[in-house]
Amino acid sequence: DAMVIQNPRYQVTQFGKPVTLSCSQTLNHNVMYWYQQKSSQAPKLLFHYYDKDFNNEADTPDNFQSRRPNTSFCFLDIRSPGLGDAAMYLCATSSGTTDGNQPQHFGDGTRLSIL
């Protein structure tokens, strides 16, 4: 089945130690998103790619970076994780259309813990 796959499902890192989360998709969608979701809250958009065009949210900390080497893969890099960065990180994709109004397909997320 076509899907969005996130690895790992659970990630533990130390305070200040860089960490990379991965997302791959078999949907061949040209738009990929990264969201942060804290407990009992809605997903919060960090950034998204339309093809290779990167779009950062104004309130996304500089500590968060992303890479998209090809259509299928997208990475979230957290350069110096703080305790406040402990959260679920969700990757999503959507097919690009002229109006952008398409459902997003989510992976099952990576739960990040900071020691």
Partner 1 sequence: GESVGLHLPTLSVQEGDNSIINCAYSNSASDYFIWYKQESGKGPQFIIDIRSNMDKRQGQRVTVLLNKTVKHLSLQIAATQPGDSAVYFCAENIADSWGKFQFGAGTQVVVTP
Q: DSSP H helical segments within the chain, as ranges?
A: none
Question: Closest distance between partner 1 and the C-beta of residue 111, in Å?
Answer: 8
Pairing status of strand 19-25 against strand 10-13 = unpaired
CB closer to partner 1 out of 30 and 79: 30
- Tokens representing 81 are 């994780």
CB closer to partner 1 out of 16 and 45: 45
> With binding defined as CB under 8 A, does residue 40 bind partner 1?
yes
- Cα distance between residue 21 and residue 78, in whole Å: 8
- Using DSSP's 3-state secondary structure scheme, residue 55 falls into strand
Question: Closest distance between partner 1 and the C-beta of residue 36, in Å?
Answer: 12
CB closer to partner 1 out of 14 and 97: 97
- Which amino acid is residue 59, in one-letter code? D
CB closer to partner 1 out of 79 and 88: 88
- Cα distance between residue 66 and residue 22, in whole Å: 10
- Tokens representing 73 are 């893969």
**Candidates 12-20, 45-53, 64-72, 76-84; binding stretch for partner 1 (CB under 8 A):** 45-53
Residue ranges that bind partner 1, judged by CB under 8 A: 4, 6, 31, 40-43, 45, 48, 50, 90, 92, 94, 96, 99-109
